[in-house]
């Protein structure tokens, strides 16, 4: 589906779509050349020398180089590359992973359970915020990272504007947040990948290229306190409400979180707009100065917003976005994977406005763009951009689930290049990047849904290793998500309450072991309804290992713990305190982190046990 851009031809949109269509046509060949460029640029670095030794590959043709590379360089996990990254962090300037010196490191905070941490060889116990003491997962960030971020954002914007044309010179309400930054022993700056991007020239260029400007000044984005930044984003978004063309965040969680906050602070925001002031809650001098320089008293706008909010409050904020931002064309954010549970709430707030699911990438590399923005989030796929990195795809199979060990959540096969992927097959992505990662496993499971010209379109399935398991049972993040969705349908339809967030834990301390699912809910639900939700979830786990274990009582009844309102915000605060940023936050769906379990168990107000299997 395409509609004409009402602004006439924007040549950059035309150019960037043309560029992408060309490279996707011959994606396999482009990949072979991309690998060659990566290797040429970084030839002679210590890591590659270790595997290639004295072999001189420079005169070799690109396909032979590709086969040689994949046979000589082994698959790696982040733990294998960590010694090199640590040396870079400590100030070793020798060419270890890249020929060009690395000056920035991105922090990737693992928000998953103990199993996953073991996989990456990172210990939460040693993780400390803003210091060089912790063993956080560092990932190199280079000019290439910022450039590809600009490229994918411009590309996706060009596809979106074919379907949802926006006005030039309009504004974007962006719920974006930088993390705290700190220096390593060797003087490198560390922050989340998005933090580096917001501080880069490319972020400014993007606004100029797309002719859409974010409502908030840099002081709000990098304010350091997400609660104050959220208030200012909302205030400025409303101050410019008639100019806002779309509303966005990196992950959907941030938008939902911001509007939940809005429900409590809208009166204060209206007062500030009326008087051109900022309430006492904004204590950051830089943020205050920057926001006060933008706003001036606007009593008529404040009254209009107040009137709308009074009506919206009665409707439980249904259609808040469409009502308060009358010219917004869509809401744009990552809504797939672990963000999928927030899409109902987002839809509620959006009130009929289109939800466009954003692109697929990670701190390590951008991967694919949503080139079909008219599709609902449930159906979105990501067309791989073959110039960004060299991508390999490790086939994953789910057979023999009963007899594989805990670590073997899937049976793996040899990785294949992009040109050899098959529709319907699941894969783990393996990355070779311009930033010095060589055959590094990303840990994401994707499925090939089809092709955009010659490049695969991927469905995001889930993170690997994020599994609930006790003995022969194995449940992925996706399995858990489906189960919780069924349980929460009972809660909404029969209990009239709403699931705010959830996580889980495999309790193995007792000999029998059982799953615990933690729910934060808004509204009152009777115990009878909650018991029904608990039973529904227990009986919805379809994994054969789980069903057999429950029938034989070798796994105990599923436990549903209802936690106090605000508990999941404490979890967010815990991660932010450890160096994460709201922009990249994902609620851990399964945890064995003792600190998080302490927060959850300390906030539990109701415990229910399933009777679905009679035990
Ligand atoms: P981070 O490095 O913190 O940005 O997290 C990257 C991870 O977020 C990826 O490895 C995925 O697991 C997840 N992710 C990123 N983009 C998407 C997307 N469009 N859909 C689903 N999950 C995503």
pLDDT tens digits along 530-575: 999 999 999 999 999 999 999 999 999 999 999 999 999 999 999 9
Rounded to an integer, the average pLDDT of 50-68 is 88
> How high is the pLDDT of residue 110?
67
Beta bridge partners of 139: 106
- Kindly state whether residues 382 and 416 are assigned to the same domain: yes
If one counts every other C-beta atom within 10 angstroms of the C-beta of residue 534, the result is 26
Residue of 335, 343, 360 best suited for mutating to test ligand 1, as the one with most atoms within 8 Å of CB:
360
Q: Is the CB of 362 under 6 A from ligand 1?
A: yes
Per-residue buried b or exposed e for 478-517, using 16+ beta carbons within 10 Å of the residue's own CB: bbbbbbbeebbebbbeebebbbbbbbbbbbeeeeebbbbb
- Kindly state whether residues 301 and 320 are assigned to the same domain: yes
- Kindly state whether residues 429 and 459 are assigned to the same domain: yes
Lowest mean pLDDT among 116-130, 160-174, 301-315, 325-339: 116-130
- Domain-embedded: residue 167: no
pLDDT in tens, 356-387: 999 999 999 999 999 999 999 999 999 999 99
- Domain-embedded: residue 193: no
Of 358, 373, 397, which one is at a domain's C-terminal end?
358
Residue 130, pLDDT above cutoff 60:
no
- Kindly state whether residues 230 and 352 are assigned to the same domain: yes
Nearest CA to ligand 1 atom 18: 360
Rounded to an integer, the average pLDDT of 459-482 is 88
> How high is the pLDDT of residue 472?
86
Answer whether 478's CB lies under 8 Å from 543's CB: no
Residue of 111, 196, 460, 481 best suited for mutating to test ligand 1, as the one with most atoms within 8 Å of CB:
460
- Kindly state whether residues 288 and 335 are assigned to the same domain: yes
Output the average pLDDT for the chain. Answer: 90
Of 334, 358, 382, which one is at a domain's C-terminal end?
358
- Kindly state whether residues 347 and 372 are assigned to the same domain: no
Most confident of 130-144, 177-191, 293-307, 582-596: 293-307
Q: Which band of pLDDT confidence, cut at 50, 70 and 90, is reported for residue 495?
A: confident
CA dihedral (157, 161, 163, 164) positive or negative: positive
pLDDT in tens, 80-110: 999 999 999 999 999 999 999 999 999 887 6
> How high is the pLDDT of residue 404?
41
Per-residue buried b or exposed e for 222-250, using 16+ beta carbons within 10 Å of the residue's own CB: bbbbbebbbbbbbbbbbbbbebbbbbbbb
Give, in order, the Cα–Cα distances in Å from 436 to each of 47, 62, 190, 383: 9, 19, 17, 23
Q: Is the CB of 332 under 6 A from ligand 1?
A: no
**Among 223, 221, 222, 130, CA closest to 184:** 130
- Kindly state whether residues 219 and 350 are assigned to the same domain: yes
- Domain-embedded: residue 199: no
Rounded to an integer, the average pLDDT of 253-281 is 97
| CA 458 to centroid of ligand 1, rounded, Å | 13
Q: Is the CB of 584 under 6 A from ligand 1?
A: yes
- Domain-embedded: residue 50: yes
In percent, the amount of the chain with pLDDT more than 70 equals: 92
Any residues with CB less than 8 A from the CB of 578 and at least 6 apart, and which? 109, 127, 128, 129, 134
Residue 579, pLDDT above cutoff 90:
no
CA dihedral (203, 208, 212, 215) positive or negative: positive
Rounded to an integer, the average pLDDT of 175-192 is 91
Nearest CA to ligand 1 atom 22: 337
> How high is the pLDDT of residue 204?
86
Nearest CA to ligand 1 atom 7: 362
Q: Which residue has the tokens 């998953």?
A: 112
Nearest CA to ligand 1 atom 20: 336
Q: How many domains does one find in the chain? A: 3
Lowest mean pLDDT among 3-7, 131-135, 309-313, 402-406: 131-135
Answer whether 348's CB lies under 8 Å from 371's CB: no
Rounded to an integer, the average pLDDT of 149-178 is 93
Q: What is the pTM of this model?
A: 0.90
Residue of 112, 366, 369, 444 best suited for mutating to test ligand 1, as the one with most atoms within 8 Å of CB:
444
Of 428, 463, 498, which one is at a domain's C-terminal end?
463
pLDDT in tens, 228-261: 999 999 999 999 999 999 999 999 999 999 999 9
Q: Which ligand 1 atom sits closest to the C-alpha of 334?
A: 19
- Kindly state whether residues 352 and 228 are assigned to the same domain: yes
Residue 124, pLDDT above cutoff 80:
no
Would you call 548 exposed, middle or buried from its count of C-beta atoms within 10 A (0-12, 13-18, 19+)?
middle
- Domain-embedded: residue 130: yes
- Domain-embedded: residue 171: no
**Distance, CA of 476 to CA of 64 (rounded, Å):** 38
Q: What is the DSSP letter of 74?
A: P
Q: Which band of pLDDT confidence, cut at 50, 70 and 90, is reported for residue 123?
A: very low
- Kindly state whether residues 224 and 118 are assigned to the same domain: no
Task: Give the residue, 21 or 511, on which the prediction is more confident.
Answer: 21
> How high is the pLDDT of residue 128?
28
> How high is the pLDDT of residue 114?
35
- Kindly state whether residues 496 and 454 are assigned to the same domain: no
| CA 360 to centroid of ligand 1, rounded, Å | 6
- Domain-embedded: residue 201: no
- Kindly state whether residues 513 and 544 are assigned to the same domain: yes
> How high is the pLDDT of residue 399?
65
**Among 274, 250, 277, 279, CA closest to 264:** 279
Rounded to an integer, the average pLDDT of 406-419 is 83
- Domain-embedded: residue 352: yes
**Structural domain range at position 567:** 477-609
Q: Is the CB of 138 under 6 A from ligand 1?
A: no
Q: Which ligand 1 atom sits closest to the C-alpha of 359?
A: 19
- Kindly state whether residues 457 and 487 are assigned to the same domain: no
| CA 293 to centroid of ligand 1, rounded, Å | 36
Q: Is the CB of 108 under 6 A from ligand 1?
A: yes
Lowest mean pLDDT among 51-60, 145-154, 273-282: 51-60
Q: Is the CB of 334 under 6 A from ligand 1?
A: yes
């Amino acid at each position: 589906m395409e509609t004409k851009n009402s602004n006439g031809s924007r040549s950059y949109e035309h150019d960037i779509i043309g560029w992408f269509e060309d490279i996707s046509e011959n994606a396999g060949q482009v990949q072979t050349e991309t690998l060659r460029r990566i290797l040429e640029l970084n030839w002679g670095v210590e890591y590659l020398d270790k595997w290639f030794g004295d072999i001189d590959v420079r005169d070799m043709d690109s396909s032979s180089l590709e086969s040689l590379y994949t046979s000589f360089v082994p698959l790696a996990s982040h733990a294998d590359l960590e010694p090199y990254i640590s040396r870079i962090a400590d100030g070793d300037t020798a060419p270890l992973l890249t020929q060009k010196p690395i000056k920035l490191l991105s922090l990737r905070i693992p928000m998953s359970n103990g199993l996953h941490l073991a996989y990456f060889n990172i210990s939460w116990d040693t993780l400390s915020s803003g210091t060089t003491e912790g063993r956080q997962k560092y990932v190199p960030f280079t000019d290439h990272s910022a450039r590809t971020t600009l490229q994918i954002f411009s590309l996706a914007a060009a596809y979106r504007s074919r379907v949802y044309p926006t006005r030039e010179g309009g504004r974007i309400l962006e719920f974006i947040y930088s993390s705290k930054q700190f220096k390593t022993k060797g003087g490198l700056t560390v922050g989340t990948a998005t933090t580096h991007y917001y501080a880069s020239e490319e972020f400014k260029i993007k606004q100029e290229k797309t002719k859409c400007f974010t409502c908030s000044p840099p002081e709000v984005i990098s304010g350091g306190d997400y609660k104050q930044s959220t208030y200012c984003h909302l205030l400025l978004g409303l101050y410019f409400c008639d100019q806002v063309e779309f509303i966005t965040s990196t992950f959907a969680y941030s938008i939902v979180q911001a509007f939940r906050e809005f429900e409590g602070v809208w009166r204060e925001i209206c007062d500030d707009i009326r008087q051109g002031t900022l309430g006492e809650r904004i204590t950051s001098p830089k943020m205050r100065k920057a926001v006060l320089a933008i706003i001036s008293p606007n009593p008529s706008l404040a009254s209009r917003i107040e009137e709308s909010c009074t009506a919206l409050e009665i409707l439980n904020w249904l259609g808040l976005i469409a009502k308060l931002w009358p010219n917004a064309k869509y809401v744009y954010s990552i809504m797939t994977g672990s963000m999928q549970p927030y899409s109902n709430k987002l839809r509620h707030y959006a009130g009929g406005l289109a939800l466009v699911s954003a692109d697929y990438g990670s701190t390590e590399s951008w991967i694919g763009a949503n080139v079909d923005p008219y599709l609902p989030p449930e159906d979105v796929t990501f067309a791989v951009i073959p110039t960004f990195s060299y991508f390999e795809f490790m086939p994953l199979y789910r057979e023999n689930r009963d007899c594989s060990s805990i670590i073997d959540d899937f049976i793996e096969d040899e990785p294949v290049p992009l040109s050899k992927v098959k529709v319907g097959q699941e894969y783990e992505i393996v990355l070779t990047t311009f930033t010095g990662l060589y055959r590094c496993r990303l840990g994401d499971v994707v499925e090939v849904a089809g092709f955009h010209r010659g490049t695969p379109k991927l469905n995001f399935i889930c993170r690997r290793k994020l599994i609930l398991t006790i003995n022969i049972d194995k449940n992925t993040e996706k399995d858990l998500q489906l189960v919780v969705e069924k349980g929460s349908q009972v809660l909404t339809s029969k209990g009239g309450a709403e699931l705010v967030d959830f996580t889980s834990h495999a309790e193995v301390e007792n000999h029998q072991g059982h799953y615990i699912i933690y729910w934060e809910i808004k509204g009152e639900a009777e115990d009878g309804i909650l018991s029904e939700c608990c039973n529904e979830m227990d009986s919805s786990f379809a994994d054969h290992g789980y069903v057999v274990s429950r029938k034989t009582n070798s796994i105990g009844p599923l436990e549903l713990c209802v936690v106090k309102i605000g508990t999941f915000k404490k979890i967010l605060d815990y991660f932010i305190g450890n160096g994460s940023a709201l922009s990249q936050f994902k609620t851990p769906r399964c945890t064995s982190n003792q600190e998080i379990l302490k927060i959850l168990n300390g906030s539990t107000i109701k415990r229910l046990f399933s009777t679905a299997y009679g035990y």
